[in-house]
């Protein structure tokens, strides 16, 4: 019996390992063919502490998965079973090689180990039951587009669950027979194995039990081998790749700064760049870096990103999950071609090339990614924030946009006006630079407008931003913040006409050249002025100044106005006194919240205003829902599906607010427009307004009773 078992076991292992190995080599060839990305490797060397933290919290601690409590707990049970039940496979291998009676001393005899193995196996089985329930409840057949599994490969997921179930029952089967046969290493601490042993109590023939034990052992090993081959050919590959993807993610979390444009592993120098030689974004699948391919291979198809995406939730064709899956399917189809040598390529027939999607465009109506998908993204970061394996969707979307804009000149025509205005006038509306001073004339105190060097006693340079200086609703925030700083005695100065757009809308559209131009101009101005500390009211400006200007030589201490105001209130330099008896719901701007983790301070400010009653919307903080303006969407028409700002205001209305507050000029405009529409439809009360939290604060400090109208 021993020899038969051994031969079957070893032959099965040899076949499975050969098949799995072949697939792994194929995948490794794809990754190796990707563009270099040395930063990813270097960052690990630079900060091993962050690397270890990532593995401990994200991989072992399942931090992101546990945000979804039930599904997260089920996944944690299955993942820990994967680690801990490896010891059972160790035991099985020893018994296969050295006979059923062989036991690894201590490992296969110490009761507590048997207890842990049995318990985690049962927890895993419970986790599987939860997964089945979740999949049935969220079946795309049942709830259609609302299902996070819509578009995922469903059969693969069911096979995975079935295979894990097989691992569990075969384990208990062969351990149960061992108990009945009397050669089980653990004492009663392995309680469930002993319980299973009762099933075989009536079998008295040792020969029969020996055969059953051998069959159980082979079944347990066989399931693992078949599963291994399946895993490397399926989305379940993430069990091996997730730790790598977490290790090589863009620190700290793939949000905040946009990636610089890279070519051949180096930032692209526009003065030297050659479109024939250099990679301008991603124009074909081969242009992706190895990390891009790793992202594609790691996706678990869980659909958490899709469930949070504002574009998907409002009926647009963009699903961040589908972007990754479509890129992955295309990469796998085309890989035999792009990993082949020139000589080999010439030998491919036309049919083979068709099957390999050699001529399929990356972004086109009949391409891998439809242009409507690409241009629907608001860069809100909900996908990146949610992804349990740290896939960086925005970087890929942005890189594909860069190619479309800079090489193909193909982008929504409305955005072209914004780009021209940025190039010619330094702001998206094309207004005169002198208009940047007009808000100051409406104040009853002096504001320092710097023209060469900032005065010595300047504590903060107030970065007003284009909207803050030129857009009527946002100007109210600018004036409120200026007045609050004045009341608190903070010495600040503004740049007035010397300020230009930070370049955020150009960069997020994909026009890196205009971003670089504006960014370098601003960095030069700021450095010449001697700016060190900057306060910005616009989260987009805040993000660009704080996180992106260091890429082009601008290093400043940047705060958002809500952070500074909350600090001034805490220090007692600003004291809200007059009550504002209103129900207020706060909308988190994506570039303040998710991209920069400022959730607390705007809420702290509102909490200090007497009378204010706050109620959170259903989606808030890291699960907040975009207003629809980011990713340069502010300057594009929204023709498909429900308007994102309308969806967000519908959510706000569910809290029956007197006021909606926020902390971003773009959110102010988007939500204000949607509220006005709702008022016209009679769906919102006439007095409902959207205001910046600074406006609430100044009202309370100055004792103004009436709400500040948002127009």
Q: Which is nearer to ligand SF4, 185 or 303 (CB)?
A: 303
Nearer to ligand SF4, 210 or 372 (CB): 372
* Nearer to ligand SF4 among residue 391 and residue 697 (C-beta): 391
- In whole angstroms, what is the distance from residue 156 CA to residue 679 CA? 48
The residue (of 8 and 76) whose beta carbon lies closer to ligand SF4 is: 76
**Residue carrying structure tokens 């149960």:** 176
Residue recorded with tokens 């909207």: 467
The token pair that represents 455 in the structure block: 């005065």
Q: How far is the CB of 379 from ligand SF4 (least distance, A)?
A: 5
Cβ 272 to ligand SF4 shortest distance, Å: 31
| Half-sphere CA count of 99, side-chain side, radius 13 A | 3
The two structure tokens encoding residue 129? 């039951």
Q: Strand, helix or coil at 529?
A: helix
What is the closest distance, in whole angstroms, from the C-beta atom of residue 637 to ligand SF4 in the complex? 16
Q: Is the four-CA dihedral 659, 660, 665, 670 of positive or negative sign? A: negative
Tell me if 31 sits within 8 A of 286, measured CB to CB: no
Closest to ligand SF4 by CB, 178 or 301? 301
Dihedral class, residue 679 (left if φ above 0, else alpha if ψ from -120 to 50, else beta) = alpha
CB of 305 within 8 A of CB of 239?
no
Tell me how far, at minimum, the Cβ of 644 lies from ligand SF4, in Å: 9
3-state SS class at 559: strand
| Nearer residue to ligand SF4 within complex by CB, 475 or 595 | 595
* Nearest one of 7, 42, 26 to 221, comparing CA atoms: 7
Reading the block at residue 420, the tokens are 């021209």
d(CA 452, CA 456): 12
- End-to-end CA gap in the chain: 86
Q: How much helix, strand and coil, in percent to the nearest 5, is found in the chain?
A: 60, 5, 35
The enclosing H or E element of 239 equals helix 238-247
**Binding residues vs ligand SF4 (CB under 6 A):** 299-305, 308-311, 318, 320-321, 324, 377-383, 386-389, 391, 393-394
In the complex, what is the shortest distance from the CB of residue 268 to ligand SF4, in angstroms, rounded to a whole number? 23
CA distance 26 to 592: 42
């Amino acid at each position: 019996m021993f020899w038969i078992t051994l031969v079957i076991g070893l032959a099965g292992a040899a076949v499975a390992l050969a098949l799995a190995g072949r697939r792994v080599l194929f995948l490794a060839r794809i990754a190796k063919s990707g563009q270099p990305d040395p930063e990813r490797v270097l960052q690990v060397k630079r900060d091993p502490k962050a690397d270890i933290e990532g593995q401990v919290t994200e991989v072992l601690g399942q931090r992101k998965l546990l945000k979804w409590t039930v599904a997260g707990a089920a996944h944690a049970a299955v993942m820990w079973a994967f680690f801990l039940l490896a010891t059972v496979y160790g035991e099985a291998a020893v018994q296969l090689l050295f006979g059923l009676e062989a036991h690894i001393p201590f490992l296969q005899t110490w009761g507590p180990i048997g207890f842990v193995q049995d318990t985690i196996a049962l927890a895993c089985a419970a986790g599987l039951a939860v997964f089945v329930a979740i999949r049935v409840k969220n079946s795309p057949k049942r709830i259609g587009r609302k299902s996070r599994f819509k578009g995922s490969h469903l059969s693969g997921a069911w096979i995975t669950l079935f295979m894990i179930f097989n691992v569990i029952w075969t384990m208990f089967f062969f351990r149960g027979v061992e108990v009945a046969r009397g050669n089980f290493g653990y004492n009663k601490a392995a309680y469930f194995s002993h319980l299973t042993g009762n099933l075989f109590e009536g079998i008295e023939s040792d020969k029969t039990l020996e055969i059953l034990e051998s069959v159980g052992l082979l079944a347990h090993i066989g399931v693992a081998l078949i599963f291994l081959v399946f895993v490397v050919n399926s989305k379940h590959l993430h069990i091996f790749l997730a730790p790598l993807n977490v290790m090589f993610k863009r620190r700290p979390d793939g949000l905040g700064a946009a990636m610089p444009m890279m070519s051949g592993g180096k930032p692209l120098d526009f003065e030297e760049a050659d479109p024939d030689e250099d990679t301008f974004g991603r124009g074909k699948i081969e242009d992706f870096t190895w990390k891009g391919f790793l992202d594609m291979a790691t996706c678990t198809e869980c659909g958490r990103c899709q469930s949070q995406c504002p574009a998907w939730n409002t009926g647009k064709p963009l699903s961040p999950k589908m972007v990754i899956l479509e890129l992955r399917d295309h990469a796998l189809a085309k890989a035999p071609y792009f990993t082949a040598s020139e000589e080999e390529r010439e030998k491919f027939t036309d049919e083979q090339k068709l099957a390999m999607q050699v001529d399929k465009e990356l972004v086109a109506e009949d391409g891998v990614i439809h242009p409507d998908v690409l241009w629907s993204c608001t860069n809100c970061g909900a996908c990146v924030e949610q992804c349990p394996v740290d896939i960086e969707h925005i970087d890929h979307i942005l890189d594909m946009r860069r190619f479309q804009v800079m090489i193909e000149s193909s982008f929504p025509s409305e955005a072209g006006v914004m780009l021209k205005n940025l190039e010619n006038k330094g702001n998206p509306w094309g207004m005169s630079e002198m208009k940047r001073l007009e808000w100051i004339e409406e104040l009853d105190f002096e504001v320092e407008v710097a023209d060469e060097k900032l005065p010595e006693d300047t504590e903060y340079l107030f970065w007003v931003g284009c909207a803050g200086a030129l857009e009527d609703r946002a100007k109210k925030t600018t004036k409120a913040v200026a007045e609050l700083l004045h009341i608190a005695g903070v010495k600040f100065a503004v740049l007035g006409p010397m300020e230009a757009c930070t370049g955020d809308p150009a960069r997020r559209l994909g026009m890196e050249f205009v971003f670089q131009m504006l960014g370098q101009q601003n960095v030069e101005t700021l450095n010449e002025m001697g700016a060190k500390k900057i306060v910005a009211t616009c989260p987009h400006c805040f993000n660009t100044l704080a996180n992106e200007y260091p890429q082009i030589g601008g290093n400043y201490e940047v705060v958002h106005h809500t952070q500074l105001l909350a600090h001034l209130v805490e220090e007692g330099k600003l004291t809200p006194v007059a009550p504002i008896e209103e129900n207020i719901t706060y909308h988190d701007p994506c570039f303040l919240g998710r991209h920069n983790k400022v959730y607390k301070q705007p809420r702290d400010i509102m909490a200090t205003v007497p009378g204010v009653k706050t109620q959170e919307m259903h989606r808030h903080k890291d699960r907040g829902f975009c207003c629809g303006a980011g990713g340069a969407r502010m300057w594009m028409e929204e023709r498909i599906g429900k308007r994102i700002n309308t969806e967000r205001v519908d959510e706000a209305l569910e809290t029956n607010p007197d006021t909606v507050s926020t902390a971003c000029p773009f959110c102010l405009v988007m939500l204000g427009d949607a509220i006005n529409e709702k008022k016209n439809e009679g769906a919102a009360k006439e007095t409902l307004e959207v205001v910046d939290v600074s406006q609430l604060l100044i009202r309370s400090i100055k004792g103004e009773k009436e709400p500040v109208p948002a127009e």
